[in-house]
């Protein structure tokens, strides 16, 4: 799965913080940099979650009785299927 660079994560956190600071209905309960660091951590946690889904989907493909060539149409179809299954499991947990 494609990861975001540290620079991109920091950039996104700065954009989100800026939007929060400009929103008159939002009162920050902590210093702006502390809020930004919390945003960075939330983004990193979310990316880690999707990385885990990616690993689980790939592991399911590798556990097939016969070898499926990575990058093949069949591999891509199975990857999407297994990835979505893992995502649905998480959604059920969150409900």
pLDDT tens digits, 34-89: 999 999 999 999 999 999 999 999 999 999 999 999 999 999 999 999 999 999 98
Tokens of 54: 């990616």
pTM: 0.77
Sign of CA dihedral 45, 16, 3, 58: positive
Is position 1 within any domain? Answer: no
With respect to residue 53, please indicate whether it lies within any of the assigned structural domains: yes
How many folded domains does the chain comprise? 1
Backbone angles phi and psi of 25, in degrees to 5: -90, 0
The verdict on residue 84 lying in a domain is: yes
Domain residue limits at 31: 6-94
Residues 6+ apart with CB under 8 A from 47: 3, 4
């Amino acid at each position: 799965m494609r990861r975001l660079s540290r620079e991109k994560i920091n950039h996104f956190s700065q954009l989100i913080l800026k939007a929060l600071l400009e929103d008159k209905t939002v009162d920050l309960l902590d210093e702006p940099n502390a809020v930004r660091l919390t945003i960075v951590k939330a983004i990193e946690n979310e990316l880690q979650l999707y990385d885990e889904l990616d690993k689980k989907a790939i592991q399911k493909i590798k556990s097939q009785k016969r070898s499926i060539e990575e990058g093949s149409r069949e591999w891509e179809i199975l990857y999407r299927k297994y990835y979505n299954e893992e995502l649905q499991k998480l959604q059920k947990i969150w409900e």
